[in-house]
Amino acid sequence: MNKPNVLLICTDHWYSSLLGVAGHPSVQTPGLDEIAEGGVRFTNAYSECPVCIPARRTLMSGLTPKSHGDRVFNDTLTFPDVPTLAQAFRNAGYQADAVGKLHVHPQRDRIGFDSVLLDDEGRPQWGVIDDYDIYLGDQGYAGRQFDHGMSNNQYHWRPWHLPEETHATAWAGRMMARTIKRRDPTKPGFWYLGFRAPHPPLVPPQSYLDLYNDIEIDQPARGSWVSDDASELPFAISAGVQRMGRYNEQQLKGARKAFYALCTQIDHQIRYLVGTLRMEGLLDNTIICFISDHGDMMGEHGMLAKRMFYENSANIPMIIRGVKGCTRVTEGKTDNRLVGLADVMPTLLDLCGIDAPAHCEGLSMFSDQRRDTLYGECSEGDHATRMIHDGRFKLIYYATGNAFQLFDLDNDPGEMTNLSNQAEYHDVQTRLQQALADELYGQDLEWIQEGKFVGWPDKPFVLGPHRNLNSQRGDGWPPSPPVDIPQVEWHKNVGE
- Indicate which residues carry an active-site annotation: 52, 103
Pairing mode, strands 393-398 and 403-408: antiparallel
Helix (H) or strand (E) run with residue 385 in it: strand 385-389
Q: 434: which residues sit within 8 A by CB, 6+ positions away?
A: none
Say what angle helices 52-61 and 344-351 make with each other, to 10 degrees.
30
Exposure of 348 by Cβ count < 10 A (0-12 exposed, 13-18 middle, 19+ buried)?
buried
Nearest to 120 by CA among 107, 111, 110: 107
Q: From CA 441, how far away is CA 184, in angstroms rounded?
A: 45
Nearest to 233 by CA among 380, 375, 381, 385: 385
**CA 487 → CA 50, 103, 242, distances in Å?**
17, 12, 22
422 within 8 A of 410, measured Cβ to Cβ: no
161 within 8 A of 204, measured Cβ to Cβ: no
Say what angle helices 168-181 and 131-138 make with each other, to 10 degrees.
100
**CA 412 → CA 11, 394, 408, distances in Å?**
27, 11, 6
Considering just the CA atoms, what is the radius of gyration of the chain in Å? 22
Q: From CA 310, how far away is CA 301, in angstroms rounded?
A: 9
